[in-house]
Amino acid sequence: MTVVRALLWVPLLAVVLLAGGVAGAQSRSAAPTAASRGLDAELFYQLLLAELTRHSDPGAAYSLTLEAARRSGHPQLYRRAIDIALGARAPNAALEAVRAWVQAQPTDDDARRIQLQLLAGLQRTDELGQALRDWLRVAEPARRLEIIGAVPVVLARAAEPAQAVAAAQTALQPWLTQPATAAVAWAALGSVQLQAGRKDEALQAATRALQAEAAEPAGALLAVQLLPDHPEAASALLQRYLQASRTRPNASADVHLAWAQALARRGELPAALRLLEQAPAASAAERRRVRMVQARLLRDAEQDQAAYDTLAEALRADPDDPDLSYELALTAERLGRHDEMERLLRALIARRPDDPHAYNALGYSLADRGVRLDEARQLIQEALRRAPDDGYIMDSLGWVEFRLGNVEEARRWLSRALELKPDAEIAAHLGEVLWTLGEREEARRIWRQGLELDARNRALRETLRRLGVEP
């Protein structure tokens, strides 16, 4: 085979495989169109030419591919046209392609989803509402509920909160009065209003959601978010939900878990724990979720022995659960049971060698205690190799470098960690490094930032107490 023929054969083979694979890869909602038949010779040539010119002339490649998509009806060719446009930094052309796709196959989930992503990325919030409304109109009933529930996520990045609320109203208006959708639709609208800072309107929406269906979790979850600003009204809504959901089969524990965590943040730990005891937990997975949250609330309240007992009991019921083992190891470390902590973490490393968290937890524990520092660094570096963008692992590496006396290296890692993951404990570590370097005012600034993130953080409070600092 000559070089020229080989060069032509590779993209041609790719096109053939694409055409063959796409015929069976229609999205779950898309019905085959009359055009969705095998690619003819002319279309083969057209796509081959598009692939050959996509680097030298992406505009021509885009036009050829989009024309082939329109003629064949293959979803993958619409997607390819979108990819070429985005690769050429032409998002408006990508939007043109996805609109053609939606027009040709209005029930195709992928087409609708990509259209929303492009509109959101281009900050065309005013168009998002109509796009969502159109999708909801053609969606199957079960899928419609899923889309309604996702509306707050779709609109979360809108630059103008007022436009986001208007888009949500446009999308959801037809479904606010339908019995099958009213509760979820009001909850979605209220979530967008809350994102926009319209807390009173969000409370009204939560009320309408629970009036439509008192046992609907979406309305109750919105009420949980409103507790800080409307404690009495939101609590009344949540009590209504509790009463209505007691007899609901297969009820989720989501509302109980979210409400308990909100109560704990307000310092009402006994009420939070009572609520968790009432949480529906028909399955083993639900019971595990409840116990995990219960243990974390206890640990956050520095009731470490109670947290340990809760996790140990849950682990006895499910001894092979790796997440319970990990949480028990962290709690054992808080109680000073370092041998048990190490045993649990090394067992986890043996069972899940690609999971970075056990490596990191063990390495950090050694570093924090100032023991076996070279081994600690090796463990943390192994964790970072598996999760190179994890701010918490970078914090651990910075902390072990500090313990080893490599202060500038510690500063570099901890600064990067705090940039990636604003966290009170990382602020505690970076502040101490800066304090050691003599940069006292910068250290105080970082500590104040940490206190704004979490004024109750144990590591930060202990650092300030140990150094005798008032930030």
DSSP output for 391-410:
HHHHHHHHHHHHHTT-HHHH
Instruction: Quote the pLDDT of residue 282.
Output: 74
Q: Which of 257, 316, 339 is nearest to 292 (CA)?
A: 257
Sequence letter at residue 353: P
CA–CA distance, 258 with 35 (Å, rounded to integer)? 50
What lies within 8 Å, CB to CB, of 123 at 6+ separation is 158, 159
CA atoms within 13 A on the CB side of 304: 12
The rounded distance, in Å, linking the Cα atoms of 382 and 366 is 15
Sequential DSSP letters for 189-220: HHHHHHHTT-HHHHHHHHHHHHHH-TT-HHHH
The answer to whether the beta carbons of residues 307 and 331 sit under 8 Å apart is yes
Task: Check: CB of residue 357 under 8 Å from CB of residue 388.
Answer: no
Concatenated DSSP letters for 84-114?
HHHHTT-HHHHHHHHHHHHHH-TT-HHHHHH
Domains 1-139 and 285-351 share a fold: yes
Mean pLDDT, consecutive 10-residue stretches, the chain (471 aa), reads 33 36 38 44 68 80 88 89 92 95 94 94 93 95 94 92 96 96 97 97 97 94 96 96 85 92 93 93 85 94 95 92 95 96 97 95 96 97 96 98 97 97 97 97 97 93 94 80
CATH superfamily for domain 1-139: Tetratricopeptide repeat domain (1.25.40.10)
Report how far apart, in Å, the C-alpha atoms of 360 and of each of 198, 205, 293, 379 are: 41, 44, 22, 6
- Which CATH fold would you assign to the domain 285-351? 1.25.40
Cβ distance 136 to 174 under 8 Å? yes
| Cα–Cα distances in angstroms (integers) from residue 377 to residues 19, 135, 308, 366, 421, in the given order | 51, 52, 28, 9, 20
Per-residue pLDDT, 199: 97
Residue boundaries of the structural domains of the chain: 1-139, 162-242+254-267, 285-351
Q: Report phi then psi at 88, rounded to 5.
A: -90, 10
- Cβ–Cβ < 8 Å for 429, 414: yes
How high is the pLDDT of residue 123?
Answer: 92
3-class DSSP state of 160: coil
Summarize pLDDT for 29-84 with one digit per residue, the tens.
443 333 344 556 666 666 777 777 778 888 888 888 898 889 888 898 899 999 99
Rounded Cα distance, 271 and 262, in Å:
10
313-340 pLDDT tens trace: 999 988 989 999 999 999 999 999 999 9
Q: Which fold has domain 162-242+254-267?
A: 1.25.40
Alpha carbon distance 320, 348 (integer Å): 10
| Residue 45 pLDDT | 61
The residues, any chain, with a CB within 8 Å of residue 77's CB and separated by 6 or more, are 18, 22, 47, 65, 66, 68, 69
